[in-house]
Amino acid sequence: MIAPSSKPLASTAGSVPDHPQRPAKPAGEVYRRFDPQLGAWVSLRTLDICGDLERFSRWQNTPRVMAFWEEGGSLEQHRQYLEKLAADPHTLTLIGCFDDQPFAYFEAYWAKEDRIAPFYDVGDYDRGIHMLVGEQAHRGPHKVASWMQALTHYLFEDEPRTQRVVAEPRADNDKMISYMQSQGYHCVKEFDFPHKRAALMMQSREDFFEGRLLD
């Protein structure tokens, strides 16, 4: 589970000469494939604030999630959180589903407009991810392998110029780091955000697609 690194920078997409113009955010389902290992469909859709708010709030208020995200609160607080992200061109909020049943919340962000950017040689189209599995029944390494592969695959397919996907789990989050390494991410280094010691995890497009048979 990886929580947001910090509040995003003020929106710079399209307004600063060295930042690409970001496309309009999609709506609805953005990814679907059948996972033969699980015998289930894994899919990603954009978060709908009206339809997903209560679920999101329930997930954020579970002790396990609160320990990492520190975003427990009321429905109104969570509505404001999601509305802020909806208005932010650098972040896309997603719901992960197995057989169309929601189980996880993801944030995909353009790394160059995020506070992670100063900590490595960020590329124009690098994407970053924050990850939260909300439903207890869908935890475990076999499920992580399915959704993490799907999420990474989507981000590389969404923008052909994206060469790297990054994440910044807490440096002492050994379980998540191990899960990510098992799915082809490697730890570049540790670094300090104001609120945590983080591990910079990274996977390249070349490494992701090498030897994989994906539709």
- Is 90 exceeded by the pLDDT of residue 1? no
Q: Dump strand ranges (E) for the chain.
A: 29-35, 40-46, 91-98, 101-110, 127-133, 164-167, 186-192, 197-204
Q: Pick the catalytic residue: 71, 107, 113, 168?
A: 168
What pLDDT, on the 0 to 100 scale, is given for residue 141?
86
Give the chain's domains with CATH numbers. Answer: 29-209 (3.40.630.30)
**Average pLDDT rounded to a whole number, residues 99-107:** 97
Using a pLDDT cut of 70, give the percent of the chain over it. 90
Q: Give the three-class secondary structure for 86.
A: helix
Q: What is the DSSP letter of 111?
A: G
What pLDDT, on the 0 to 100 scale, is given for residue 7?
41
List pLDDT tens digits, range 158-183.
999 999 999 999 999 899 999 999 99
- Is 70 exceeded by the pLDDT of residue 109? yes
96 DSSP β-pair partners: 44, 104
Q: How many Å apart are CA 45 and CA 203, to the nearest integer?
A: 22
Name the pTM for this structure: 0.90
Task: Please state the φ and ψ torsions of residue 179, each to the nearest 5 degrees.
Answer: -60, -45
Cβ atoms of residues 92 and 114 within 8 Å: no
What pLDDT, on the 0 to 100 scale, is given for residue 211?
66
List pLDDT tens digits, range 85-94.
999 999 999 9
Is residue 76 part of the annotated active site? The answer reads no
- Is 60 exceeded by the pLDDT of residue 14? no
List pLDDT tens digits, range 129-138.
999 999 988 8
Q: Of 116, 60, 121, which Cα lies nearest the Cα of 91?
A: 116
- Is 70 exceeded by the pLDDT of residue 97? yes
Q: How many Å apart are CA 134 and CA 105, to the nearest integer?
A: 7
Q: Of 112, 114, 188, 180, which Cα lies nearest the Cα of 149?
A: 180
**Average pLDDT rounded to a whole number, residues 14-27:** 79
Q: Compute the mean pLDDT over every residue in the chain, rounded to the nearest whole number.
A: 91
- Is 90 exceeded by the pLDDT of residue 11? no
What pLDDT, on the 0 to 100 scale, is given for residue 169?
92
